[in-house]
Chain A
């Protein structure tokens, strides 16, 4: 079974500063994918960044980067130069591998971290 743990229920960051949101995971599968999503108060789930378990380099997407430490089973999200619009709930999620060919790669989510950016 897969498990995602986000230990920070809430975080505050000053505008224009960087912030790290923690995520640890547990799986017995050697192949997996890690995702981060942003959910604003309006409710939509916005895909931010993806990291594959065999990727050698940390993923980056604009102001978002994923600090992937495989041995420690952590996949922290780093947001650089925080903006007021970054205030939202952030979910870390994991997708396992499907060896059966069924084509189903459902996501397991953490409980989320609510980020508040202070002007």
Chain B
């Protein structure tokens, strides 16, 4: 079965550089979520999109922005990178037509970002 695809899997950037992470959701999933997981931490919600519109916002720094495109893939843009941005970044997707709450939330394999 198709899964959530994230690219790249690993990324090394220097401080103050820019990074772009990509996420391709499971087919027919129209909602995309981004999470950040620091070393030894639990994942923290950053931002989500439904039908190409931002639907909710978590603890996302102002230096980060994201969007969802017409083919439902999403990109997380990170500027002025700091050492503390080093983390595992997950994208998850779920279908909209599941009633009031989520019954499926499948994650990609993550992008491991290292800022040096």
Q: Does B associate with A? A: yes
Task: Say if the beta carbon of B77 comes within 8 Å of chain A.
Answer: no
- List the count of A-B residue pairs having beta carbons below 8 Å apart: 81
Q: Which of B73-116 contact A (CB under 8 A)?
A: 88, 90, 92, 94, 96, 100-110, 112
Which residues on the A side are within 8 Å of B35 (C-beta)? 107
- Closest Cβ–Cβ distance, residue A47 to chain B (whole Å): 6
Q: A99-B100, A111-B42 are in contact. Are A45 and B50 (CB under 8 A)?
A: no
User: What 1/0 flags go to A56-89 for Cβ under 8 Å of B?
Assistant: 0000000000000000000000000000000000
Residues of B within 8 A of A12 (CB): none
Q: Measured between alpha carbons, how far is A102 from B108 in the docked complex, in Å?
A: 22
Taking a contact as CB atoms under 8 Å apart, the answer to whether B56 and A106 are in contact is: yes
A95 at the interface (CB under 8 A from B): yes
Is the C-beta of A104 less than 8 angstroms from some C-beta in chain B?
A: yes
Contact A50 to B110, CB < 8 A, known contacts A104-B31, A111-B42: no
Contact A45 B43 (CB under 8 A): yes
> Contact check: which of A43, A96, A98, A105 meets B105 at CB < 8 Å?
A105
Write out, one digit per residue, whether chain B residues 35-53 have a CB within 8 A of any chain A CB (1) or not (0). Answer: 1000000111100101100
Asked if B58 is at the interface (CB within 8 A of a chain A CB), the reply is yes
Q: Are B43 and A102 in touch, CB under 8 angstroms?
A: no
Q: How far is the CB of B15 from chain A (nearest CB, A)?
A: 23
On whether the beta carbons of A98 and B42 are closer than 8 Å, the reply is no
**A positions within 8 Å CB-CB of B:** 31-33, 35, 37, 43-47, 50, 52, 91, 93, 95-99, 102-112
Residues of B within 8 A of A (CB): 30-31, 33, 35, 42-45, 48, 50-51, 55-56, 58, 88, 90, 92, 94, 96, 100-110, 112
